[in-house]
Structure 1
Amino acid sequence: MRAKDVCQALSRELLPKNIEGTRFKLKRMVRLGILAEADTGNFTRKPRP
């Protein structure tokens, strides 16, 4: 999912500040190993071992 899609799923307004904040949180989750970034800006859940 892209950050814009996550904002829509969470019923947040599609304003640049909301999309950028969501993108930052998604990138933090990538660093923590919760998500994976498939393509630039496209986030997925990491497969379980």
Structure 2
Amino acid sequence: MRINIQLQCTECKRKNYATQKNKKNTTGRLEVSKYCPWDKKHTLHKESK
């Protein structure tokens, strides 16, 4: 079962990316290093509610 999630930047707190994850395989919150256009650098993005 795949669900849609939003990825939120840990520095500027903006929701920059939307993606999907498999709820059965990844039960915890997703954390990915992505590019933040407002900070103009790569930052850690976490799954938000």
- Please indicate, yes or no, whether the TM-score normalized by the shorter chain is above 0.5: no
What's the TM-score, normalizing by structure 2? 0.21
Greater relative contact order, per chain length (Cα 8 Å cut-off, separation 6+)? 2
Considering fraction of residues, name the structure with more strand. Answer: 2
Higher helix share: 1
